[in-house]
Each structure stands twice: as structure tokens, then as C-alpha cells.
Structure 1
Amino acid sequence: MSDNGADKAIAASETAAPMEPGAGPDDFVPRYFEPERVRMYRSPMGSARLELLDEVCYARVAVRQILPLSDPDHYISIWSGDDAEIGIVLDPLELDEASQRVISEELDVRYFTPTITKIHQVKERFGVHEWDVDTSRGRVTFSVRGLHQNVKQLPPNRLIVTDVRENRYDIPDATRLDHASFQQIQRHM
């Protein structure tokens, strides 16, 4: 982190997303960061920080994917602690290694999405479907309320399942599951 405190302010609590000069509150224009000016690191307490060199340091930020399913490796949005977008990193690989690591760690926490590899059973009771599955992280059981709202079908055969705790599970290609697993999906969808 640069140490010229006179040239920048520590912005612990930002209230508005950056806008181009002359833009009104309804005319939000996204800000794309220049990779050489971005530094991300951890605070002593472990939260992610963003420093825009010679400009400002945001004491606590959140990292989000703009296109988490179709292009998860690009278009990374950085948000302030007040839930306002600060700007966008087009390609995290253009950042320094430490910044890449912080972004990767933050995305891993935010987008914890195990892949379902086998479905042992799906049973419905009072409008809630109980799933017993094997995932890339081990065997789990979870509940889904309202299958049509919480199982998203993406072309060609991908399914994203969201449980009652808002955890997401990925089935990259439902047709590639074993026959019994695929039958469980067919029966309940």
C-alpha cells in the first residue's frame, strides 16, 4: 500500500458509486479500473481492501462476478461496504499476483457452488423437496422449496439448484448423470 496519505482518503464508508462528471443519479456509468492502478490486499482483521493508487483506499469491499455462469473469469465487480459498486476489473489476470489471490479467495467464499455428481434420492413433502446427493465436496442432504423457482435450467442441459439456505449446487450436464440420477430429476421436474 502506498503511504502518501495526503493524496488519498481512507474511505471506510462510501455512500455512492462513482459517476462520470455531469451524470445525474439516474445516469450511472460503470467505472472500469486500469489494472496497474488496482491493489487488493487483506486488512489486519482479514477483510478485503481495495486501493486505487494515488486516489483512495476502501477499507472493506466485496467482490462479485457480473457473469458468474457464462464468463466467471472476467468482469469482476468491486463493491463498497455500503453496497454500492465502486468499479469493474475486466480481467483479474492483469492485476498483480497478491490482488489476484484476494479476488480468487473472495469469489471462492461468495460463490461456493459444489457440483452434484450423483442423486441418491429426491423426495417431496409438503411442497419441500429433500435432496440426498453426492457432490464434489462429499455427500449432502438439502431442502429445496419451489422447484420451478429454485432449479434454473440453462442451455443446453445445465441445472443450478438453490436450497432453502440459498446455497447453490451445479449440475453441469444433467444428461451425463447416471441413469438413476437422471430419472430422479425427470420425475420431479
Structure 2
Amino acid sequence: MNVTVEYQLTRNLYGKLILLDQFGMTHEGVMPVRAFPITDPDHGIALIDSRGHELVWIYQLTDLPEDYRELIESELAHREFMPKIKRILKVSSFITPNTWQVETDRGEAVFILKGEEDIRRLATTSLIITDNQGIHFLIQDRLTLDRHSRKLLDHFL
């Protein structure tokens, strides 16, 4: 179901999003921000200006015309880099800091975990692990990891 939008969304020559609102005002450098990036990524997206003020609220991404949806998804992909851990291959030790070798949806990665406090629960079974560089790795459902991965992870939970 597509909804009628009261604004125009385009890209300028420099790749920045441009919003022409219902009042005819042009806003350059518009950024999409998800309200619930992990638990409900397609619902609740704000288009904000360069000062952080909300210009448009999008209830559901799939309701937008395809060209607008593609612009927003492309911009979000550049802003949100969060590899999803599929398997934990190796942990150098069970004392932090330690080195983790993991398989993600973007390939294998090696990172340093500074402390156990850098593993945060999001929901009952989902976790975010932040490495020493500030990169976030997502485990969507720890119960779906293989036995070896769960065993390694359990040492830190």
C-alpha cells in the first residue's frame, strides 16, 4: 500500500539528500534515522535536517514510492554499518581484553573486545558487541548460533 507523500526527495550532484517540503522549502543534507534500527528497521524512520530537526516522519518504509525507498535505504546503508555475527570461530582467552575471530554476513572479521561490558543485551536473545574501534557487531539471536559459538559466548554472559 503506497501512501501519498507531501514532499519530494532527490540527491544533489554531491550525493546529498535534498528534501523539498510541502511548504516549498528546500532542505539540503537530509539524513534518515531509524527509530528502532534492530528490532523494527522498516517502521519509524525520521528524515532530519543537518541540525537534527525532524522534517518528515515515515511510519513504514514499504509504503513509500520505490524511488524514495531506494534513496532512503541507500543512505541508511552508508550510515549504518553493523555486521551480523553468524559464528564465533575463536576467542583468544576468556580474560579481557581478548581477540575474537568471527564469521559475519560481510565475511570474516577479527576484533578486540576490551571488556565484558562491551557485550550488551538488546532483547532476550539479541546482543551487540562493540569492539575496541567502536564498531558494533550484532548477534540477532544467540540461540540460533552453532553449539561451539554459543559455548564461547556463554563465557562472557
State if a TM-score over 0.5 links the two structures.
yes
Unpaired runs of 5+ in structure 2? none
**Equivalent AA in structure 1 for residue 122 of structure 2:** L
Q: Which of 64, 75, 81 matches 1:112?
A: 81
Matches within 5 A, 1:34-45: 35-45=4-14
Q: How many residues align?
A: 155
In the alignment, which of 59, 82, 92 is matched to residue 123 of structure 1? 92
SS in 2 for 1:60: strand
Residue pairs, 1:46-125, within 5 angstroms: 46-124=15-93
Larger of the two Rg values belongs to structure: 1
2:110 is matched with: 141
Matched with 1:21 is none
- Report the Cα distance in structure 1 between the residues aligned to 2:26 and 2:145, rounded to whole angstroms: 47
TM-score computed with the length of structure 1 as normaliser = 0.73
Q: Percent identity among equivalent residues?
A: 25
- Give the Cα–Cα distance (whole angstroms) in 1 for the partners of residues 119 and 60 of structure 2: 30
Which sections of structure 1, spanning at least 5 residues, go unmatched?
1-33
Which whole-Å deviations, capped at 9, do the CAs of 1:56-114 have from their partners, x for residues lacking one?
11111111101112211011011211233333111222322221111111111222222
Answering whether residue 152 of structure 2 is matched by residue 184 of structure 1, we say yes
- Aligned-residue offset at 1:38: 2.4
Task: Tell me the distance in 2 between the aligned counterparts of 1:87 and 1:41.
Answer: 14
Is residue 161 of structure 1 aligned with residue 91 of structure 2? no
Post-superposition Cα deviations, 1:22-78, rounded to whole Å, max 9, x if no partner, equal xxxxxxxxxxxx852122221111112222144311111111101112211011011
Query: Are the structure 2 counterparts of residues 186 and 125 from structure 1 closer, same or farther at C-alpha, using a change threshold of 3 Å?
Result: closer
